[in-house]
Structure 1
Amino acid sequence: MSSRGASIEGVTLRDRAVHLERADALVLADTHLGRDEASNVQLRMGEDTDIVERVGVLLERFEPAELVVAGDLLHSFEGVPRGVRESLGDLRTAAEAADAHVVVTPGNHDTMLADLWDGPTVDAYTLADGDREVVVCHGHEDPAGMDADLYVVGHDHPTIEIEGQRRACYLHGRECYRGADLLMLPSFTRLAAGAPVNGMGTADFMSPLVTDADLLRPTVRDERADETLAFPPLGRFREML
C-alpha cells in the first residue's frame, strides 16, 4: 500500500518540516508554543524545549538562508503562558546562530503574536524556488491575490492511521489548488493529536486550500529508519480501507 523512497521535487522532508532546496528555506508549521502549559497537567512536559532543540538540529543540518514558520507559532489565544517568551528568545537565538532569517506567517492561534514577536510577519510569504514560485501561509484563510506554483501550508495537523497507530504525515497534491500544487505539513509539535486523514473528504478539512482531497497523497517520514513512505492519494486510499 506504500512505496519507499517517495519524493517531492526539490523538497526534503525531515522531522515534520521541509527544506525547499532551491529557495534554501526551512519551513515548518504549528509549533503551538505554550500548548503544554495550557494543557490540563500539573507539570510542563518540556514540549517548548523539545521544539527549540529540534529546530536547532534542522538549522544545523540544512544551514538554510531562511526559516519560515507557517502559522500557529503560539497556542494560547489569550495571555502569555509561562515560558513562552523564553522559548521564542531561544528560537531566535538558534536562528541567529545559524544565520537564518526568520519570517512568521501568522495563523489563527497567533492572536498574541504582536505582543511577543517583533520579527517579520506577513500573511503569506513568497519564495523563489528555482523556476517556480512558492507561497507559504498557515492555510486557515485563502491567500487572495497570491499566485504560485506550490502552496505550503499547515493548519489541519494531518496524520495517518497505520495498524491502529497515528503517524504525522505530509499531504501533497498536484495541480489541486488554483492549478498549482499543494503541500500540507504536519504539526511540528508532537503534542497535537492530529486529524487522521484516512477517511477524510474535502469537506472534512478546515483549510480552504483543500479543494479536492482525493488528490492529496499522504507521506510519512520515519526518522528512526531514515525512510520516507508514500501512500496512494486519498481518493484511492479510501477504497482500500
Structure 2
Amino acid sequence: MELTYDDRALVLGETLVVADCHVGRGTGGELEFPVGSGTEMVERFRDLVERHDPEAVVLAGDVLHSFQTVPRTVEGTVAGLKAACRDAAARLVVTPGNHDTMLDAVWDGPVEREYRVGDTLVLHGHEPPEGSADRYVVGHDHPTIEIEGQRRPCYLVGEGQYRGSDVVMLPSFNKLNAGVRVNTMSASDFQSPLVTDADRLAPVVWDERARERREFPPLGEFRRML
C-alpha cells in the first residue's frame, strides 16, 4: 500500500493518520501565544481531511497533553477535530497513547489499541504491538532532523525494523512539540520499542512550500553527509 505524506500526517489508502496532537499543550500559561493547541491545529486537520477525503481518520495516540487535568480549551479543540471528520463523513478513531489517561473526559468515540489498514497496523508506539503486520505506523518520539543548522520535523521509515516488518514513525502533529533531534540517536535513545536499528531509519521531510516530500538516506549513511 502506497504512502502519501502531507503536513505531518500520513495517508494509507482511504485512511488518514496523525499522531501526537498533544491538545492542551501551551494552555497552562507557559506560552503567551498557544499556537498549535487550538484553532491552528483544527484548521490544519480540517484541510487534511478535505484534501484527502478519507473514509477513516486515526489519531495515533497522545491526543491529549496533560496526564492529570483537561484545560477548558481542550474540549473545544477535540470537538473541532470531530466536526472536521463528521463534515467529511469520515470515521474518527483513537489509538490511545501514554498521555491519554484523561481521554474519557473529552472522547466518547471509537478507541482501538491498534487499527489495521490492510497489511499495516497503526498504533501509538509506546508499547510493543499485539498484532502482527508487514508494516507498523507509529508516533510517540516526535522525530526531527537537523540539516544545515535548521531542525525540521520528519518521518522516519525503517525497513525490517521490528520483527522483520517495516516501521514508519510520524512527527508530532502539534507544532509546539520541539521534538527530538534524531541525527545522532541510537536505537536505545528512542522511547518506542519498535525502533531496533536507528542506522536503518531513513528521514522523510515534508516541504510545505513545494508541497512535496524530500527523502534522505538512512541515518547511518546520512550522518556522514551532515
The question of a shared fold, defined as TM-score above 0.5 by the shorter chain, is answered with yes
Alpha carbons 2:12, 2:117 under 8 Å: kept: no
1:192 pairs with one of 162, 167, 177: 177
2:146 is aligned to 161
1:10 is aligned to 2
Alpha carbons 1:38, 1:76 under 8 Å: kept: no
Alpha carbons 1:37, 1:82 under 8 Å: kept: no
Q: Which runs of 5+ in 1 are unaligned?
A: 1-8
Residues 135-178 of structure 1, C-alpha deviations (whole Å, 9 max, x = no match): 0000100012x000110000000000011111000000111111
TM-aligned CA deviation for residue 225 of structure 1: 1.5
2:124 pairs with one of 130, 138, 141: 138
Indicate the larger mover: 47-56 or 11-20.
47-56
Q: How many residues align?
A: 226
Alpha carbons 2:125, 2:138 under 8 Å: kept: yes
Letter of the structure 1 residue corresponding to residue 137 of structure 2: V
Structure 1 residue ranges (4+ consecutive) displaced by more than 6 angstroms after TM superposition? none
1:50 aligns with 2:40: yes
1:72 is aligned to 62
Change (3 A) 1:46 1:135: closer
1:125 pairs with one of 115, 125, 146: 115
Equivalent pairs: percent with the same residue?
Answer: 55
1:183 pairs with one of 168, 186, 208: 168
Alpha carbons 1:69, 1:104 under 8 Å: kept: yes
TM-aligned CA deviation for residue 41 of structure 1: 2.7
TM-aligned CA deviation for residue 39 of structure 1: 5.3
CA RMSD of aligned residues (A): 1.3
Change (3 A) 1:32 1:177: same
Alpha carbons 2:75, 2:106 under 8 Å: kept: yes
Q: Which runs of 5+ in 2 are unaligned?
A: none
Q: Normalised by the size of structure 1, how large is the TM-score? A: 0.90
TM-aligned CA deviation for residue 117 of structure 1: 0.4
1:211 aligns with 2:208: no
2:26 aligned counterpart, secondary structure: helix
Q: Normalised by the size of structure 2, how large is the TM-score? A: 0.96
